[in-house]
A and B are shown apart, each in its own frame.
Chain A
Amino acid sequence: MNFYKKIKNSAVRNINPKYLELISKRGIVLSKIPKHSSTVTSDLFLYRIENNWSTFFELLNVNRLIDNDNLNHKIFEVEIIFFNNSGDLVERFEIKNIRDIKHRININEITNHLNIKHDGTFAVIHKNPPIWLKDYDCFLSERGYTGYENNFYGPIKSYVHGNLDAIYKESRGDIKQLGNFSFLKKKYFVQHRLLTRYSYDFYWVNPTNRKQKLIIEELSESNTIITRIQMEPRGLYKYSYKRNSNKTDSVIKIQSRLYMARPIVFKYMENSFDVFHG
């Protein structure tokens, strides 16, 4: 690691990111650096199980993909941690002795088993990450692929990748949030135009350790609809846009202290749906 990177890394570790931002916008760091080198991080992935939705997770043996010389990584195990939409930890579930390099997890089977009834989020924590990652000051991160399916639309899954570095698990087992936020209000515009012939659901997750207030503005030529919400740490919020031919096309703007209030978007068409990062 070069000298500049070492200085930056040290500053990010030791100075509150909010102060770094005051020095320079280039100093903005979206996620914290965990203290321990063997820490594993994960996105908070949305699971949908209500209203005939099914959720699948394409679990990869990332240890083996990273460290293919090490025979210890031929079999792997993960812990899946479920949270409700208020951010409370609901259940933990371990999958051991996975021999496949990829394992499709049916999240509904697990939530049924754990008697979880409502949509929420889950994290995937891999065990025994490659030791040499610490030589590069890197942490193993799960940003995998979640597939959504609804019988109403047929058997095809629509996938979205993770990229919200949301939580990490400490060696004692505590779960901590990774997301940084600002002193200053930020605006995020979803660069996608909502068409009046379709309906949409937007999902936001709070990856920080503080409650976050969001002002969601649905902006069209004819009017502006403002919704104010609060999200608990690790909490989930859903905002719905209903198709209406009397409306004009809209865009969504979010004001918050999050650097990137980026939602997952579900778009519903006549006989199909699509999911993507906003």
Chain B
Amino acid sequence: MSFFPLFNILETKGFCTVHNFSPNNWEKSHKKTKKLWLFFLRDNLWNSKKIGEIKYGDSFNVKMENLKFSNENIDSTLVILQLRKDDNVPKTMNFLPKSQFTFTKTPEWRATVGFSLGLSQTSYQGEINPFPEKGSLLTFHPFVQQVNIENYFVFVNLETSPIRRYSIIEIYLPHKKKFIDRVKVYNNHANIISLDKYEFSKNELPTFICRNMAGIPFGFGINRTSPMLSLEHTHPPASFTLHGSRFQVQKRIKTSWFNKLKF
């Protein structure tokens, strides 16, 4: 575990509840009060701000709407949180700081990352580790809902470098090898792509490719008539298999689709 993401999706209000207790008792973890730090982008630098302390066993809820950035604009919709030991983190940095703790892996130490709209909320248990700049994305997106639901693809990228760059997400229907669209996406950002204009049917499987940026892909839905939100992330291709050299299989699957799907 390194960081926890906090962002809004459209007019929903993002929140992130960070927990200072381990998900298990059999992997090493640090059982003391931790400091909660916030990192955000401004002028191509990571800026830091301490926002609180969490006693062991407690949780801390951070709401996007309550954050104040000294009346200055920030450069991204994504801010991130990290548990740390120290009180002194440089105000501005060229790289995100490394974690100071050993955290669990089974499962990863996670926060409750969520979104509110009126009385409705949706959340997932999540964390985010910076992606390598040479990463890529292939994901199959099965969450498009049809009746009175707005559908979005959300792509969240985090990199250690604060330098702004962009990439292109390509959208295809893989069974027809049909190119649908290309959309610009940014690093260190929660990118939101509306899907309804493409009119995907319930048995189609929109597929998203990004050849030089990795990130966490989500399906996000809103029902506005009876307000309710729907959110879930999709798996990377390695999840189609169990045991063995899954990541070599993933590489083979990605290479194959990257070669087949071109516009």
Contact = CB atoms under 8 A, between A and B. Distances in A.
Contacts of A217: none
Contact of B241 (A58, A69, A140, A158): A140
A154 B223 contact: yes
Interface stretch (A78-86, A100-108, A116-124, A240-248): A100-108
Contacts, number: 196
Contacts of A133: 241, 244, 249
A260 B202 contact: no
Interface residues of B, number: 65
B205 A101 contact: yes
A28 interface: yes
Given A68-B257, A145-B143, A189-B24, A136 B226 contact: no
B243 A139 contact: yes
Contacts of B111: 191
Q: What range describes how many residues of A lie at the interface?
A: 35 or more
A105 B221 CA distance: 19
B121 interface: yes
A153 B243 contact: no
Tell me the interface secondary structure of chain A in the complex: mixed
Contacts of B106: 28, 30, 259-260
Contacts of A184: 26
A190 B246 CA distance: 28
Given A66-B249, A267-B123, 20 more contacts: A1-B245, A28-B106, A60-B205, A62-B240, A101-B174, A133-B244, A137-B243, A138-B242, A153-B228, A154-B228, A155-B149, A156-B223, A161-B234, A186-B25, A193-B19, A269-B121, A271-B227, A272-B119, A272-B226, A276-B125
Interface of A: 1, 5, 9, 25, 28, 30-31, 33, 41, 58, 60, 62, 64-66, 68-69, 100-104, 133, 136-141, 143-145, 147, 153-161, 163, 165, 184, 186-193, 251, 259-260, 262, 267, 269-274, 276-278
